[in-house]
Amino acid sequence: MDLSKAAWRKASRSTAQADNCVEVAGVPNVVALRDSKDPNGPKIIVSRSDFRHLAETLKNI
């Protein structure tokens, strides 16, 4: 999957000094995740429904 033109964004609670940030990009039919410290490293691709479930689960921790 070509993610070269994906619009990546950090979580709203991340700061410029944060070392442990996950970035997300919405691309057609899926959500891509990456480590902000390694933008050229591996990406995780999940369905939008799986991402929604993950986000809801994390909110409840």
Residue 48 pLDDT > 80, yes or no? Answer: yes
Mean pLDDT of 18-30: 85
Q: How far apart are CA 14 and CA 9, in angstroms?
A: 10
Torsion angles phi and psi, residue 55, rounded to 5: -60, -40
Model confidence band, residue 50 (pLDDT cutoffs 50, 70, 90): very high
What value does the mean pLDDT of the chain take?
A: 88
Cα–Cα distance for residue pair 27/30, rounded to 1 Å: 6
Mean pLDDT of 41-54: 95
**What's the predicted TM-score (pTM) here?**
0.79
Per DSSP, 48 falls in state H
**pLDDT category of residue 15 using cuts at 50, 70 and 90:** low
